[in-house]
Amino acid sequence: MKNIRLNNGYEIPEIGLGTFRLTPDEAEHAVEFALKSGYRHIDTANVYMNEKAVGRGIKKSGVPREEIFLTSKVFPGYFKKIPQVVQDTLKRLDVEYLDLFLLHQPYGDIQKAWQDLEKEVEAGRIRSIGVSNFSEKDIDKLLTYAKIKPVLNQVECHPYHHQDALREHHQKLGIEIEAWYPLGSMNKDLMNEPLWEELSKKYNKSKVQIILRWHLQKGNILIPGTRKEDHILANKDIYDFELTQEEMDLIAQMDKGKKFLGWPHFLGKILIPMLRFNFDKQK
């Protein structure tokens, strides 16, 4: 698995394991199995309610902490309490530091959260900081006061939503795109696109592997989510073939700018910062 060098010099493995919607038992097992089978990058979030399980999976894998790139995220309702949030997150994950901590949504007191995260970086509790679901405008605003530039923006990205304008904007700034929903969460229309069948036969790879390969060739960091051992293995087995430029061009025509998940901006702005969770209740 290859690494991508971030704008602060740290390296991130370009494929990680996503853990959204994994129960604690599923997350614990998937993380342990993924690390034992060569993954070195795990993505979780405070609101996935599985950080304790992710921490157990890391311990059970026996892989040294310093070999693992571990990401978590803070939700807007907690942006005003960053020092406490970081302390609690580290405790749940049972680790001394986070490789990457993201502002999960572009709502709430972003400036305060970012400036407090910068202090956490200075204190050594977090190595890199970034954002998720930010638009070009959100990033430009953040850069007016940021001392530390975000290393990446984790956004919905799949063959129905290429994020090319955002990618172009970020490239100039040295900010990476990390794709969430890299498989469009297995949306039926997307998976039934006839091109996948054709390419699947040509390369003797599954439809999922074709899509994940497309992400790598776009330059995305990707974190496919799965609870299954055979899928964990398949999702990293994409280095022995390469899509041609003509095939990349055909996939380019699929872009509909279609989001499968998200809030209308005005609703998100009001509702998301109000959400609270009982993080201590997780298994």
Nearer to ligand NAP, 46 or 226 (CB): 226
Binding mask 179-208 for ligand NAP (x = CB under 6 A): -xxxxxxx---------------------x
39, 48, 160, 181: which one is catalytic? Answer: 48
Q: Are 23 and 50 in contact (CB under 8 A)?
A: yes
Residues in the chain: 283
Closest approach of Cβ 280 to ligand NAP, in Å?
21
Q: Which helix (H) or strand (E) holds 129?
A: strand 126-132
Nearer to ligand NAP, 82 or 124 (CB): 82
The DSSP-derived string for 223-268 is: --B---HHHHHHTT--SS----HHHHHHHHTT-----SS---HHHH
50 binds ligand NAP (CB under 6 A): no
Closest approach of Cβ 8 to ligand NAP, in Å?
20
Specify whether 181 is catalytic: no
150 binds ligand NAP (CB under 6 A): no
Nearer to ligand NAP, 57 or 225 (CB): 225
Residues 18-37, interacting with ligand NAP (CB under 6 A) = 18-20
Q: Are 114 and 108 in contact (CB under 8 A)?
A: no
Nearer to ligand NAP, 38 or 123 (CB): 38
Which residue stretches of the chain are H helix?
Answer: 24-36, 51-61, 82-93, 110-122, 136-143, 164-173, 188-191, 194-203, 207-218, 229-234, 245-252, 265-271
Ramachandran sector of residue 70 (left: φ over 0; alpha: ψ -120 to 50; beta: rest)? beta
Closest approach of Cβ 75 to ligand NAP, in Å?
10
Binding mask 98-127 for ligand NAP (x = CB under 6 A): ------x-----------------------
Beta bridge partners of 181: none
**Given the rule CB under 6 A, which residues bind ligand NAP?**
18-20, 43, 104, 132-133, 154, 180-186, 208, 223-228, 231, 234-235
